[in-house]
Structure 1
Amino acid sequence: MTTIAVLGNGRVGGNLATALTRAGHEVTVADREPGAAADAARTAEVVINATPGAGSLERLVALRAELQGKILVDVSNATTDGPDGLPADLLYPGSSLAEQLQEALPGTSVVKTLNTMLFPVMTAPAILTQAPTAFLSGEDPQAKQTVRDLLTGLGWRTEWITDLGGIRTARATEAAILFVPHVIRSSGFTPFAISIAR
């Protein structure tokens, strides 16, 4: 059992919290209020960033002390939105939210994952007709192994998880968000994921 704080109580955060609780973990959900987030992060081993990516860096830097020595799982994408509310462009071109977080929080092990799919797939990958891929980016091998174990508990098979390497690789998976609005406009909100076919 892992003690987990999920920051963000929207569709992504709520879905992850429910599934991780079902998998046997002790989960606390905090909304965007600084006090609630600080309390949740302080007592957790793993903190999941499920806040809207455009404001994540500011919110999480404010929790530097609480995140010291913790694993921060970043599932958000930092984008500007178009008129229809769908992602239009990257907020950190030539970088990524995960890189910005790791640089700002050197005492925290940031792991990027689950940001290349619609939220229902995060906790139920088997709902797709083809095998999805969950990518891992991060500097700390032990932290990535902890996240890999959490993913396995959510139904991700070992062969569906691909470790891309260091945190710099997160800029590739975050850029994949630019596919999403076009796929949604073409096919609707049917669950899908970016995947590597082999």
Structure 2
Amino acid sequence: MTTIAVLGNGRVGSSLATALTRAGHEVTVADRSPGAAPNAARTAQVVINATPGDSSLDRLVALREELRDKILVDVSNATVDGPDGLPADLLYPGSSLAEQLQASLPETRVVKTLNTMLFTVMTAPATLTQAPSAFLSGEDPQAKQTVRELLTDLGWRKEWITDLGGIRTARATEAAILFVPHVIRSTGFTPFALSIAR
């Protein structure tokens, strides 16, 4: 059992919290009430960032002490939205939210994952008609192994998980968010994920 704090109680955070609790982990969800995020992060082994990507950096830098020596799982994408509310551009072109977080929180082990799919797939990957891919980006091998095990608890088969390497590789998966609005406009708001076919 892992003690996990989920920062963000929207659709992404709530679904991850429910699935990880069902898998036997001790999960706390931090909402926007005063002190909720520091309190949750302080007692957790793993912290999941499910806050809106355009404000994640400021929110998490404010938790620098609480995140010291913790694993921070970043599932958010930092984007500039278009008039329809869908992602239109990257907030950190030439970089990524994960890289910004790691640079700002050097004593925290950041791992990027689960950011290349519709949120429903994060906790139910086997519901797709084809095998999806989950990617890992991060500098710490032990942290990535812990996250890999959490993904397994969420239903991800080991052959569906690809370790891309260091945190810099997160800029590639974060850029994939620019596919999303076009896919949604083309096929509707139905579950999908990027997949590496072999």
What TM-score, normalized by structure 2, do the two folds share? 0.99
Partner residue in 2 for 1:139: 139
SS in 2 for 1:152: helix
CA pair 21-32 structure 1, distance change in 2 beyond 3 A: same
Partner residue in 2 for 1:48: 48
Partner residue in 1 for 2:38: 38
Partner residue in 2 for 1:81: 81
Letter in 1 for 2:14: G
Aligned ranges 1:151-166 → 2 under 5 Å: 151-166=151-166
Structure 1 residue ranges (4+ consecutive) displaced by more than 6 angstroms after TM superposition: none
Aligned length: 198
Partner residue in 1 for 2:177: 177
Partner residue in 2 for 1:196: 196
Contact 1:32 1:51 in 2 (8 A): no
What TM-score, normalized by structure 1, do the two folds share? 0.99
Tell me, which stretches of 5 or more residues in structure 2 are unaligned?
A: none
Letter in 2 for 1:68: R
CA pair 34-172 structure 1, distance change in 2 beyond 3 A: farther
Partner residue in 1 for 2:104: 104
SS in 2 for 1:6: strand
Instruction: Note the C-alpha offset of 1:130.
Output: 0.2
Instruction: Note the C-alpha offset of 1:175.
Output: 0.1
Q: Percent identity?
A: 87
Superposition RMSD on alpha carbons, in Å?
0.6
Tell me, which stretches of 5 or more residues in structure 1 are unaligned?
A: none
Greater helix share, 1 or 2? 1
Deviations 1:91-148 (A, max 9, x none): 0000000000000000000000000000010000001000000000000000000000
Instruction: Note the C-alpha offset of 1:33.
Output: 4.1
Letter in 1 for 2:121: V
